[in-house]
């Protein structure tokens, strides 16, 4: 049995304005489901940004227990944390080599994802001075135009014997730009380019599939798949039923129920005017906690169209609309339609979780689930739920 209380709780729930509940059983189930979708491919896990905001130590511990042996992080600092939790795991660092930290990669047994000739030469030089070579991954840009060797650079690399033999690549990878849109023409362009790249590295494992690739693009599947957002319960593809279990529930504490009359306003800039006698629940969560100001009960954005559905909370079995502006520490909700006897007992309002999907909450705020998860603030109390947790 694994003890998921790896770190002391930073915030006592009795003192917090909001709480986050993280279902590690659902996380493990999601990883196993994704692995089952690609039986011919090994399945890794992307745990960058502190395990998508959930706590990388707890996330890695749970995923290791589920059977995951390979992890991707963005930064070497994250990789060091993963290796402390899972010493035998293969850990790839997506953002390549940091010039002054090469020795740390070596000491921590991290595998850099090399996306430039300069990175390749730096890694090769470090190990040449020590009379050995260590594994790396090669990142090739097939159309994202972000990190990675250009396809022509990759061709030049493999034709240059001195460079090609200076490192030991164990993985060649690229990243899809538009995988969340099933019919985007960029997908076919990138797969074709990646197939060309893969042929340059015979005998080396290949990786292209992210969460969306696993769920909706079978031609993205190669030797290693690397899901991210789907692990944490988020949608991977637009306008596509989400097959993943929700992992995270965010709730805000009700600190006051007050009443307002028709014609009165609420909040900064008086953006909401009441049209009836209204009961208001004031919740101790705001943009200082990562609950975005764009979750306010009106369209804060200057571009684009308003979401089809406005931001809501979930209380006493009903959706309740957010009204007025979300402020630094407080969010207001219209709870007029909640019966008084139920409202008197209510303590917490769900802001997303089992009843309000993460991505529905994100759409209402004009953003994506990734941002809501990775922006979860330090003032929340956190509870990790697992059937394997020790008493």
**Among 28, 48, 291, 370, the one annotated catalytic:** 48
At 304 the three-state DSSP class reads coil
In this prediction, residues 182-186 reach a mean pLDDT of 95
Amino acid 309: pLDDT: 65
Amino acid 131: pLDDT: 82
Q: How far is residue 114 CA from its own chain's centroid? A: 22
At 120 the three-state DSSP class reads helix
Amino acid 389: pLDDT: 53
Taking only the tens place, the pLDDT of each residue in 139-182 is 999 999 999 999 999 999 999 988 888 999 999 999 999 999 99
Amino acid 1: pLDDT: 45
The dotted CATH code for 38-232 is: 3.20.20.10
Contact assessment for residue 339 and residue 346, using Cβ atoms and an 8 Å cutoff = no
What DSSP string describes 182-203? TT-HHHHHHHHHHHHHHHTSTT
Q: How far is residue 147 CA from its own chain's centroid? A: 19
What mean pLDDT value characterizes the chain?
92
Is 48 annotated as catalytic?
yes
- Nearest by Cα to 329 from 364, 286, 365: 286
Query: pTM for the full model?
Result: 0.92
Contact assessment for residue 366 and residue 313, using Cβ atoms and an 8 Å cutoff = no
What DSSP string describes 273-300? E-SS-EEEEEES--GGGT--GGGSSS--
Locate all alpha helices (DSSP H) within 302-343, ordered by sequence. 340-343
Amino acid 304: pLDDT: 40
Q: Would you state the CATH architecture of domain 248-385?
A: Beta Barrel (2.40)
**Among 84, 218, 268, 309, the one annotated catalytic:** 268
- 299 pLDDT band (50/70/90 cuts)? very low
Q: Which residue has the tokens 């991707």?
A: 72
Dist CA 111 CA 101 (whole Å): 13
Q: Where are the domains of the chain?
A: 38-232, 248-385
Is 268 annotated as catalytic?
yes
* The pair of three-digit structure tokens given for residue 284, joined into one six-digit string: 């101790």
Dist CA 279 CA 231 (whole Å): 38
- Nearest by Cα to 30 from 55, 1, 59, 7: 59
Greater model confidence, 238 or 80: 80
Amino acid 388: pLDDT: 72
């Amino acid at each position: 049995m694994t003890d998921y209380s790896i770190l002391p709780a930073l915030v006592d729930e009795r003192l917090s304005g909001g709480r986050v509940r993280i279902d590690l059983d659902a996380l493990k189930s999601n990883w196993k489901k994704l692995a089952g979708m690609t039986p011919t491919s090994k399945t890794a896990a992307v745990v960058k940004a502190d395990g998508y905001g959930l706590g990388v130590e707890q996330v890695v511990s749970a995923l290791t227990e589920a059977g995951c042996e390979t992890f991707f992080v963005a930064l070497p600092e994250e990789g060091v944390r993963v290796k402390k939790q899972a010493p035998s795991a293969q850990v790839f660092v997506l953002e390549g080599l940091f010039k002054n930290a090469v020795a740390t990669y070596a000491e921590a047994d991290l595998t850099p994802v090399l996306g430039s000739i300069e990175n390749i030469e730096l890694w090769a030089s470090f190990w040449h001075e020590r009379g050995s070579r260590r594994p790396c991954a090669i990142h090739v840009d097939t159309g994202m135009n972000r990190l990675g060797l250009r396809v022509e650079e990759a061709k030049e690399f493999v034709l240059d014997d001195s460079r090609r033999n200076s490192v030991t690549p164990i993985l060649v990878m690229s990243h899809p730009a538009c995988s969340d849109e099933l019919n985007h023409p960029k997908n076919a362009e990138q797969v074709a380019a990646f197939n060309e790249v893969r042929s340059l590295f015979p005998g080396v494992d290949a990786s292209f599939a992210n969460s969306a690739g696993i769920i909706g693009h079978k031609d993205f599947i190669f030797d290693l798949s690397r899901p991210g957002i789907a692990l944490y319960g988020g949608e991977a593809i637009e306008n596509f039923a989400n097959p993943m279990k929700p992992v995270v529930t965010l709730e805000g504490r009700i600190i006051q129920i007050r009443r307002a009359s028709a014609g009165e306003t609420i909040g900064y800039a008086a953006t909401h005017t009441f049209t009836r006698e209204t009961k208001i629940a004031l919740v101790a969560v705001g943009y200082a906690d990562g609950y975005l100001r764009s979750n306010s009960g009106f369209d804060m954005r200057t571009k684009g169209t308003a979401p089809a559905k406005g931001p809501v909370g979930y209380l006493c079995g009903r959706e309740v609309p957010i009204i007025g502006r979300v402020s630094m520490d407080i969010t207001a909700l219209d709870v007029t339609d909640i019966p008084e006897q139920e409202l008197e007992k209510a303590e917490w309002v769900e802001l997303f979780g089992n009843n309000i999907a993460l991505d529905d909450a994100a759409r209402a705020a004009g953003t994506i689930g990734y941002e809501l998860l990775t922006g979860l603030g330090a003032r929340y109390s956190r509870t990790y739920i697992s059937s394997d947790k020790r008493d």
